[in-house]
């Protein structure tokens, strides 16, 4: 069967690999769509630990069960599924207290030498699979995995945050738009979106943002201060790739406010953390997701609460080798690149 493999820095190839082994308690899945993730783009750009190459890429996917090897556990042949690609040990102190995203030996399919799903068939344990409603488009179901990261981030918001709270999201990429939608679903309607790309800001406006700000043309701090009558925002969310966003969030967050950090931007940031002390700001990082976050993300996909088909760039398998380079171009009308694995013409 055909697979897309990382073989070196910025180098991917289509290679023939054997069909996967079918183990007890697993399902053979024909992969329909594979999403291109930002973490994989970074891995593609650097090649990471070359001793672990070549490696099959991919961890965001949807597919159809073709065979079940003993004990269906609620699944049947023909079910459309996705899978939680984070693999925790289940034994470390973090796993034992339910923080599987912080597992000491956390693995992710398609990265660091662990085989991914960017191939025609995969065999995965049934206990890691999630059924996707037949009413949902297959390409939209690919979004369950990245959505889980936003669900986890939003879980850090205190449940008593007022529905009238002023929220600002820096970064109108996929995660930022997810957070905007999750805010709406959870009853927060005063949400500002800040970015430097007009197409992305237009998407945010159409998705319900109360205020959109192009930071290249407006002073974002001044604009948010005016939006909040000078008091500052109650909650700031960083989903951007800009190194100066965290410094701006410190300047514009109200006393007693909350800052949530998701964007994996510059490792060293110049910021005045005296503001965090003086204003008693609560700063919370968010990494990955836990099982309950993934389950909730699948639920949002299946009930139609999150539907992003319009903002997904579809590529045929014949263009799979260009998918990572194309995905390095941020901005524009697309939030996600997805490759269709059907009709490879190479099998």
138 and 184 within one domain: no
Both structure tokens of 85 = 């690609």
- pLDDT reported for residue 346: 43
pLDDT greater than 80 at residue 72: no
161 and 116 within one domain: no
Both structure tokens of 133 = 């409603």
Cα(33)–Cα(192) distance, integer angstroms? 32
Indicate the pLDDT class of residue 268, thresholds 50, 70 and 90. Answer: confident
**223 in Cβ contact with 201 (< 8 Å):** no
Residue 36, classed as helix, strand or coil, is: coil
206 and 128 within one domain: no
> Which domain range does residue 96 map to?
2-147+289-340
Beta-bridge partners for 129 = 83
Cα(191)–Cα(209) distance, integer angstroms? 5
Last residue of a domain, one of 258, 285, 312: 285
**60 in Cβ contact with 146 (< 8 Å):** yes
141 and 9 within one domain: yes
**8 in Cβ contact with 292 (< 8 Å):** no
63 sits in the region (left: phi over 0; alpha: psi -120 to 50; else beta) called: beta
127 and 20 within one domain: yes
Residue 252 φ then ψ, to 5°? -110, 0
58 and 9 within one domain: yes
Both structure tokens of 337 = 């690149």
Look at residue 207 and tell me if it is in a domain.
yes
Q: Which residue has the tokens 């597919």?
A: 63
Would you give the end-to-end CA distance of the chain in angstroms? 6
- pLDDT reported for residue 112: 74
The more confidently predicted of residues 335 and 45 is 335
322 and 309 within one domain: yes
pLDDT greater than 90 at residue 124: yes
Distances (CA, A) of 185 to 38, 124, 230, 261, 335: 25, 32, 27, 20, 20
Indicate the pLDDT class of residue 91, thresholds 50, 70 and 90. Answer: very high
Total domains in the fold of the chain: 2
251 and 213 within one domain: yes
192 and 95 within one domain: no
Cα(117)–Cα(3) distance, integer angstroms? 8
Report the number of secondary-structure helices (H) and strands (E) in the chain.
11, 18
**145 in Cβ contact with 59 (< 8 Å):** yes
Which domain CATH number covers 218? 3.40.50.720
Distances (CA, A) of 154 to 138, 140, 147, 180, 231: 25, 21, 11, 10, 23
Indicate the pLDDT class of residue 347, thresholds 50, 70 and 90. Answer: very low
Mean pLDDT, the chain, integer: 91
**86 in Cβ contact with 101 (< 8 Å):** yes
Indicate the pLDDT class of residue 47, thresholds 50, 70 and 90. Answer: low
Which domain CATH number covers 124? 3.90.180.10
Query: What's the burial of 44, exposed, middle or buried (CB within 10 Å: 0-12/13-18/19+)?
Result: buried
- pLDDT reported for residue 48: 65
Tell me the pLDDT tens digit for each residue of 202-242.
999 999 999 999 999 999 999 999 999 999 999 999 999 77
Cα(20)–Cα(225) distance, integer angstroms? 56
**Quick one: what percent of the chain has pLDDT higher than 70?**
95
Beta-bridge partners for 130 = 82
């Amino acid at each position: 069967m055909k697979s897309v493999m990382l073989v070196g820095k910025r180098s991917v190839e289509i290679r023939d690999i054997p069909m996967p082994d079918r183990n007890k308690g697993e399902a053979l899945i024909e992969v329909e769509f594979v999403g291109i993730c930002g973490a994989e783009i970074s891995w593609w750009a650097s090649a990471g630990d070359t001793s672990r190459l070549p490696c099959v890429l991919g961890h965001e996917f949807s597919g159809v069960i073709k065979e079940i090897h003993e004990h269906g556990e609620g699944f049947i042949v023909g079910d459309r599924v996705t899978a939680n690609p984070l693999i925790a040990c289940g034994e470390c102190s973090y796993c034992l207290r339910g923080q599987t995203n912080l597992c000491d030996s956390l693995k992710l399919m398609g990265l660091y030498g662990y085989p991914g799903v960017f191939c025609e068939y995969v065999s995965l344990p049934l206990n890691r699979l999630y059924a996707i409603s037949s009413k949902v488009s297959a390409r939209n179901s690919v979004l369950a995995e990245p959505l889980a990261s936003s669900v986890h981030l939003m879980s850090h918001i205190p449940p008593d945050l007022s529905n009238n709270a002023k929220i600002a999201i820096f970064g109108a990429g996929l995660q930022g738009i997810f957070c905007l939608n999750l805010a709406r679903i959870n009853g927060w309607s005063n949400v500002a979106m800040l970015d430097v790309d007009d197409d992305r800001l237009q998407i945010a406006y159409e998705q319900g943002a109360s205020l959109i700000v192009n930071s290249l043309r407006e002073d974002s701090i001044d604009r948010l201060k005016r939006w909040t009558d000078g008091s500052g925002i109650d909650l700031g969310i960083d989903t951007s790739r800009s190194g100066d966003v965290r410094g701006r969030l410190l300047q514009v967050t109200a006393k007693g406010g909350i800052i949530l950090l998701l964007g994996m931007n510059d490792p060293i940031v110049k910021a005045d953390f005296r503001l965090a002390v003086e204003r008693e700001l609560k700063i919370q990082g968010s990494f990955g997701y836990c099982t309950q976050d993934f389950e909730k993300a699948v639920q949002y996909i299946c009930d139609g609460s999150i539907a992003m088909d319009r903002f997904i760039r579809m590529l045929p398998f014949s263009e799979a080798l260009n998918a990572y380079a194309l995905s390095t171009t941020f901005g524009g009308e697309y939030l996600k690149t997805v490759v269709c694995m059907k009709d490879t013409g190479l099998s």
